[in-house]
Structure 1
């Protein structure tokens, strides 16, 4: 099992995150476009080479995002309508992300079991997530899914939703 941390940068005009490994070495960066009608973020390596992109799709009731790697869609993340809990589905992988918005605990699963467990840190400067990953073969997609979760549940960027998890 591998551990990664996603830390949101504070005092920024746009969404900006750093991804660290278990030894607290920065391994990726996530940056958004400053002026855009829709959320659009890019995951880069430390030399700012793009590796994956997160694109918000216009949707009124169910926030939806497309994750691309090498210019090709690899996942569509949709927030399902729920009260007071997190529930996202991913196609074509048939993954589900469920969690407790109030406890800041989330689990990504497929038909075979747990792929990733995530805990949002309670007392940190900016949003910080600890990711426990079973298999790193989809690491960029997992990171992108966690960025979507943060935008939808904790930054009110996901559109109209009745999940009670808008801000803190």
Structure 2
């Protein structure tokens, strides 16, 4: 029984450690190379936007209810904490998009890169179907390959995302 108490106490202590410095819920915070990244959903912000804050300062906003910070990110461990360097952010904008002759609400994606002195945000990229989710990401030192469930593929390099042809 004491073992269960120790596990319970340790998990509660770890949870408190994870959210230290985060104003919102634990899942909305990431430690990055440049500091603490926090997501502020529309419901919390009180305006029509969801925001990304780095060390308390807004660095990105979009007209959507919330953003999803993809767990398949690039980073490293430092002092037993995971530090994120690059991460994919997905959101559905309140504004419909025209994509591949489809007019509707698309799942939009960007890459946030924290590897330099300032955060860099890529251009927006959308899967071929407009609403597919990311199947896997291969992060490399020079570039990254992003593959969606619908088979669409993208390459990220130097702050820019481009669609790959089907045979690449």
Q: RCO (CA 8 Å, sep 6+): is it higher in 1 or 2?
A: 1
TM-score if structure 2 supplies the norm length? 0.27
TM-score, with structure 1 as normaliser: 0.27
